[in-house]
Structure 1
Amino acid sequence: MAGRRHDPDRRSRIIDSALAVIAENGVAGTTHRKVARHADVPLGSMTYHFADLDELLREALTRYAGRISERYTERITAASSLEDLVAAIVDLVHHDLGKAPDDLVLILELYTLAARVPAFRQITHDWMQQSRQALERFVDTDTAYDVDALIEGLFIHTSLDQPTRSRASTERAVRRFLS
């Protein structure tokens, strides 16, 4: 009898593969079979590690939101003045939030899923709460809420608009908003 293959990173690889499959096929096109194929694991590993597809999606999108939140928080907390904050926000919009090619798709898929399925709203809530807390080093709670929404909106518009919005335009908008 052959020994069981030792694969301590399998669960994590499945989660990362789920993100790749979501980016390629959308949440609606994500299946256990596609994720297992991408992760190069037996299909049975899916149900061994995750009770159902929703659990896998929640874990994958929670991991993804955590990664984006880390980038965001890192950039904002590195700022030491209002001028630095403006520069940090521009960098977030034009670089950090869309650092990987799949970022825009994954962010929009997460928003769409959270809009449709209340159980997924906690992921976006936690992400937004952490973002606002980082901003509250510089601005009050209400302004942090508004600036966070501005950042998200500018990122989406900058990512989708043609021609792409310039960094100078984004900087003007942020300055106007914070003045």
Structure 2
Amino acid sequence: MPPSTRDPAGRREQIVIAAAELLCAGDGKPTHRRVAEHAGVPLGSTTYYFSTLDDLTTAALEYLADQVDTGLAETAELVAGGDATPETVARLFHEYLSDRDQVRVEITIYTAALQRPELVALTRRWFDGLVEILCTVTDPATARLLAVFVDGACMHAAIHEQPLELDVLEKLTRTLMGGPGCAAGSDRP
């Protein structure tokens, strides 16, 4: 039997993913021991790659933010391939908010930023990315309003463990996209 090949990058990623999963589970702050157990690695591996829990937590949150970026890229493709009606936009919101894992990731990143202000940039990646995508179907001011709305709808979905109903999302999206003061080129809200 050949000797096993070491994969330091793979081991590190395994630890980061385990920490991210524990953060999203929301059952307390991860410890090196809990992360090692969840990753199925020796405790010494977590402390070898991450000397502090802050380093480990930051790496896990960056991993989650990268997942958000991937989701935003997929959303941008869907928006580009569809029509720009409020109903289509609302359906995309509903699909996003129906994915409990995605909602948990968002809430996890937001919560972390509240506790550690140096991580605020991670939360802004999602918001700014969503505004950028929405600017392809509406003006910048309305795009920001819609992103703020989705932020709140995300919190609602997390608390109620289900998204707002599609017809409610459609009505609110239609109101925001077609309401007074939403003309192209208007200033930010």
TM-score normalized by structure 1? Answer: 0.81
Matched, 1:68 2:68: yes
Q: Which has the larger radius of gyration?
A: 2
Counterparts of 1:135 and 1:19, CA distance in 2: 28
Q: How far apart in 1 are the matches of 2:137 and 2:84?
A: 7
Residue segments in structure 1 that go unaligned for 5+ positions in a row? none
CA shift, 1:34, in A, is 0.4
Which residue number in structure 2 is paired with residue 146 of structure 1? 145
CA spacing shift, 1:17–1:61, aligned 2, 3 Å: same
What's the CA shift string for 1:102-157, capped at 9, x where partnerless? 44333223212201211111111222222221122122322222111111212322
Aligned to 2:37: 37
Runs (5+) with no aligned partner, structure 2: 179-189
Contact 1:128 1:148 in 2 (8 A): yes
Distance 1:157 1:123, change over 3 A: same
Q: Work out the CA distance in 2 between the residues paired with 1:163 and 1:129.
A: 24
Partner of 1:81: 83
- Quickly say closer, same or farther: Cα 1:12–1:88, change in 2 above 3 A: farther
Cα distance change of structure 1 residues 96 and 129 upon mapping to structure 2, 3 Å threshold: same
| Pairing of 1:14-163 with structure 2 (within 5 A) | 14-26=15-27, 28-79=28-79, 80-83=82-85, 86-92=87-93, 94-99=94-99, 101-161=100-160
Aligned equivalent of 1:174: 173
3-state secondary structure, aligned to 1:41: coil
Deviation at 1:162, TM superposition (A): 8.1
User: Quick one: distance in 1 between partners of 2:162 and 2:102?
Assistant: 19
Instruction: Find the aligned partners of 1:73 and 1:134 in 2 and give their Cα distance.
Output: 9
Q: Which moved more, 1:49-58 or 1:166-175?
A: 49-58
Equivalenced residue count is 173
The 1:43–1:5 alpha-carbon spacing in structure 2 relative to 1, beyond 3 Å, is farther
Query: Does 2:12 correspond to 1:11?
Result: yes
Mark the CA change 1:76 to 1:31 in structure 2 (over 3 Å): closer, same or farther.
same
- Matches of 1:130 and 1:151 in 2, distance apart? 13
How far has the Cα of 1:70 moved from its partner?
2.3
Does structure 2 conserve the Cα–Cα contact (< 8 Å) formed by 1:132 and 1:148?
yes
Structure 2: how far apart are the matches of 1:55 and 1:86? 42
RMSD: 2.5
CA distance in 2 between counterparts of 1:35 and 1:162 reads 26
